[in-house]
């Protein structure tokens, strides 16, 4: 008998009808002779609604209390799904993150899983029950509830699949797989049959919203076979795994991320340690720096220009401004009207000319590139935010049509 982990996203359990639909999917896997552990997200927009409720009370809620609040969303869907399964004659039990054995570090609202003690899950499975686990949550060393950060239920599901050596982890959502671009934006985007962990990780980090990037990291680390598929059709979805057909597509996807801001620190003295001072400030504030550009403008001076997530931009500017006299720069400024557009594909490791084709397509659309960054399997450009959608379509046409 194989063990399967099924995760249902918020849209797949948003109301009574969807909950029963999920229960029937679980029932089918069971009837095929599998043991099933299910992980659920909060129903529909519940998590957003809970955040809004907190905002009605205070603008600066404690993170501990936020986790206490946000974790309730998943408890609702887990209990309801277990009830639906029982109604359909399928023995089931719901478990909170704590009951399911999720121990995390102490970081409220973006905790990392430290350990997963699967004893309770396994004992429930041995009693022939479907186990329904609340995604997104665990407890820290103080026995306080923590959450794993937005979209964290994917990670909960992969962690269970890894710990129990599940045959597969199916992520049920409202799209039928991973697409070459956001289909709402690019009408001729195509569904991929398979994609590698590395490609998926780049896509997830670069703005494709289908899978949480930490879950992909974890799946890669423990070789968990992932499938992204729709809860509304019976069709197989996209398989995410270590290697895919090497002769396949060169480029797997085009993404955009509008959630970036460019920070300009101008006329910093051109001496050893200047960059260190700037970026250690960012590190102290836990700000992730992405693309970095250092250019020499005037003699003995350099400009240090880099990108940060947009929500961190104001903090970055204020701390840099405060310490500007210490590292001797002239000015700090920010531009939030930028977007990062990227093409991703493992095929670019063994093929040349991808960059030039990318820049040509942008040139033909008259889109100006402000910054460029690359990894082995992706090329990203920073452009004006207002041109991001056009850029995605142009790049999709160039590589994927």
User: Which residue bears the tokens 């229960």?
Assistant: 23
**List of residues contacting Mg ion (CB under 5 A):** 9, 151
Cβ distance to ligand ASP smaller for residue 42 or 175: 42
Cβ distance to ligand ASP smaller for residue 48 or 242: 48
Please give the Cα distance from 174 to 312 (Å, whole number).
30
Closest approach of Cβ 211 to Mg ion, in Å?
Answer: 8
Closest approach of Cβ 15 to ligand ASP, in Å?
Answer: 16
Please give the Cα distance from 280 to 83 (Å, whole number).
51
Residue 279: Cβ within 10 Å count: 15
Nearest residue to Mg ion by CB is 151
Specify whether the CB–CB gap between 35 and 29 falls below 8 A: no
Closest approach of Cβ 81 to ligand ASP, in Å?
Answer: 14
Terminal-residue alpha carbon distance, the chain: 42
What are 366's two structure tokens?
A: 């008259």
Helix (H, G, I), strand (E, B) or coil at 331: strand
Task: Indicate whether 73 belongs to the interface with ligand ASP (CB under 6 A).
Answer: yes
Residue 128: Cβ within 10 Å count: 10
Closest approach of Cβ 9 to Mg ion, in Å?
Answer: 5
- Choices 98-106, 145-153, 240-248, 374-382; region in contact with ligand ASP by CB under 6 A: 145-153
Nearest to 267 by CA among 232, 298, 223: 298
Residue 316: Cβ within 10 Å count: 23
Closest approach of Cβ 383 to Mg ion, in Å?
Answer: 27
Residue 175: Cβ within 10 Å count: 20
- Interface residue with ligand ASP, options 12, 38, 94, 153 (CB under 6 A): 153
- Interface residue with ligand ASP, options 4, 5, 6, 10 (CB under 6 A): 10
Strand ranges, E, within 76-149: 92-95, 102-104, 113-116, 130-134, 137-139, 145-147
Q: Footprint of ligand ASP on residues 14-43 (CB under 6 A)?
A: 41-42
**Among ligand ASP, Mg ion, none, partner that 253 touches (CB below 5 to 8 angstroms by kind):** none
Task: Indicate whether 150 belongs to the interface with ligand ASP (CB under 6 A).
Answer: yes
Q: Footprint of ligand ASP on residues 121-140 (CB under 6 A)?
A: 135-136
Strand ranges, E, within 310-377: 331-344, 371-375
Cβ distance to Mg ion smaller for residue 224 or 362: 224
Judged by CB under 6 A, how many residues of this single chain contact ligand ASP?
Answer: 11
Specify whether the CB–CB gap between 329 and 268 falls below 8 A: yes
What are 215's two structure tokens?
A: 């879950």
Residue 382 burial (C-beta neighbours within 10 Å; 0-12, 13-18, 19+) = buried
Nearest to 158 by CA among 230, 105, 211, 194: 211
Closest approach of Cβ 151 to Mg ion, in Å?
Answer: 4
What is the per-residue binding string for ligand ASP in 184-223, x denoting contact by CB under 6 A?
----------------------------------------
Cβ distance to ligand ASP smaller for residue 149 or 248: 149
**Among ligand ASP, Mg ion, none, partner that 197 touches (CB below 5 to 8 angstroms by kind):** none
What are 245's two structure tokens?
A: 């057909």
**Among ligand ASP, Mg ion, none, partner that 73 touches (CB below 5 to 8 angstroms by kind):** ligand ASP
- Choices 151-159, 223-231, 293-301, 367-375; region in contact with ligand ASP by CB under 6 A: 151-159
Instruction: Report which DSSP code applies to 182.
Output: -
CA distances from 356 to 276, 360, 395, 401 (A): 32, 6, 12, 18
Closest approach of Cβ 291 to ligand ASP, in Å?
Answer: 26
- Choices 147-155, 158-166, 301-309, 376-384; region in contact with ligand ASP by CB under 6 A: 147-155
Cβ distance to ligand ASP smaller for residue 21 or 393: 21
Task: Indicate whether 108 belongs to the interface with ligand ASP (CB under 6 A).
Answer: no
Cβ distance to ligand ASP smaller for residue 40 or 338: 40
Can you give the binding site for ligand ASP, defined by CB under 6 A?
10, 41-42, 47, 73, 135-136, 150-153
């Amino acid at each position: 008998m194989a063990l399967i982990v099924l995760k249902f996203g918020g849209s797949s359990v948003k109301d009574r009808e969807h909950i029963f639909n999920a229960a029937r999917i679980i029932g089918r896997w069971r009837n095929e002779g599998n043991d099933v552990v299910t992980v659920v997200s909060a129903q529909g927009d519940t998590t957003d609604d809970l955040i809004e409720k907190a905002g009605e009370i205070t603008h600066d809620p404690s993170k501990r209390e936020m986790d206490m609040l946000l974790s309730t969303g998943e408890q609702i869907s887990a209990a309801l799904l277990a009830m639906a399964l029982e109604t359909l004659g399928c023995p089931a039990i719901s478990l909170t993150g704590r009951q399911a054995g999720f121990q995390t570090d102490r970081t409220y609202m973006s905790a990392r899983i430290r350990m997963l003690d699967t004893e309770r899950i396994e004992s429930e499975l041995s009693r022939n029950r479907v186990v329904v686990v609340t995604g997104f949550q665990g407890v820290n060393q103080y026995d306080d509830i923590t959450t794993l950060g937005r979209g964290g239920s994917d990670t909960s599901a992969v962690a269970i699949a890894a710990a129990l050596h599940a045959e597969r982890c199916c992520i049920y959502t409202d799209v039928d797989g991973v697409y070459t671009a956001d289909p709402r934006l690019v009408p001729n985007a195509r569904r991929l049959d398979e994609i590698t962990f590395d490609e998926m990780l780049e896509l997830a980090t670069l703005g494709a919203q289908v899978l949480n990037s930490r879950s992909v990291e974890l799946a890669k680390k423990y070789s968990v076979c992932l499938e992204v598929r729709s809860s509304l059709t019976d069709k197989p979805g996209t398989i995410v795994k270590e290697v895919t057909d090497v002769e396949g597509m060169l480029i797997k996807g085009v993404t955009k991320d509008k959630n970036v801001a460019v920070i300009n620190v101008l006329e910093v003295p051109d001496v050893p340690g200047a960059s260190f001072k700037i970026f250690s400030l960012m590190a102290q504030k836990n700000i992730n720096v992405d693309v970095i550009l250092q250019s020499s403008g005037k003699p003995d001076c350099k400009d240090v220009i880099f990108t940060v997530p947009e929500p961190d931009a104001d903090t970055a500017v204020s701390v840099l401004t405060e310490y500007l006299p210490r590292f001797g720069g002239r000015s700090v400024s920010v531009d939030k009207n930028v977007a990062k557009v990227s093409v991703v594909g493992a095929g670019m490791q063994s093929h040349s000319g991808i960059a030039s084709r990318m820049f040509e397509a942008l040139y033909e659309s008259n889109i100006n590139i402000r910054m460029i960054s690359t990894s082995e399997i992706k090329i990203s450009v920073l452009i004006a935010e207002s041109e991001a959608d056009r850029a995605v379509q142009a790049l999709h046409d160039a590589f994927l049509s």
